[in-house]
Structure 1
């Protein structure tokens, strides 16, 4: 079976993260669309923790400020063009990873 070499960009943030009053996940999607990235998926986590503490709060069964993972798979050159702007948004409030993947 042949695989195509591509790159995976994974951005880990919290649901309530904002920059200038706008949610970071919405701003990241705008950057990705503007950069002609093929597609992105946002995953919601049930809970977690990191250097900023726990990523969830439960109020009467409702989870607030859950962890989010934005996942993108595309060509390295396209991802490298949008990375500086995304890094500027996420800054030290999240984690960004970039790694090679084989797409079947």
Structure 2
């Protein structure tokens, strides 16, 4: 699989407790991206953050970890990312979705 040098980065900010039909939302997003043959997806967990509600989510010791922030990043061609957006809309009820143009320098192993 190839990604064009000029690609798009889809970044999805959600919470660890967000769900899609009982399944963790981040899992649904990654599995759907894989099903649609996107180049790859990565889920990153944040140690602290807040969103629309301004409620602070943190991993501090004195508080139980509650609904930690997650970021799902997907990089692929603009066409493939644009085809994924309507699907994303059907499984997300809240969160923040951003897009930005990126330059892909390497994808996969270098030819030897």
Deviation at 1:66, TM superposition (A): 0.6
Point out the structure with max Rg over C-alpha: 2
Whose RCO is larger (CA < 8 A, sep 6+)? Answer: 1
Instruction: State the Cα RMSD in Å.
Output: 1.9
- Determine the structure 2 residue equivalent to 1:68: 70
The equivalent position to 2:83 in structure 1, one of 73, 77, 81, is 81
Structure 2 unpaired stretches of 5+: 106-112
**What CA deviation, in whole Å up to 9, does each residue of 1:35-90 have, x standing for no partner?**
10011110000011111222336565652311000001100111111111112222
Q: Which has the larger displacement, 76-85 or 8-17?
A: 76-85
Q: Which has the higher strand share?
A: 1
Q: Which has the higher helix share?
A: 1
Structure 1 unpaired stretches of 5+: none
Aligned pairs for 1:1-104 (under 5 A) are 4-52=5-53, 53-56=55-58, 58=60, 62-91=64-93, 93-104=94-105
The separation in 2 between residues aligned to 1:55 and 1:12, in whole angstroms, is: 13
Q: How many residues align?
A: 101
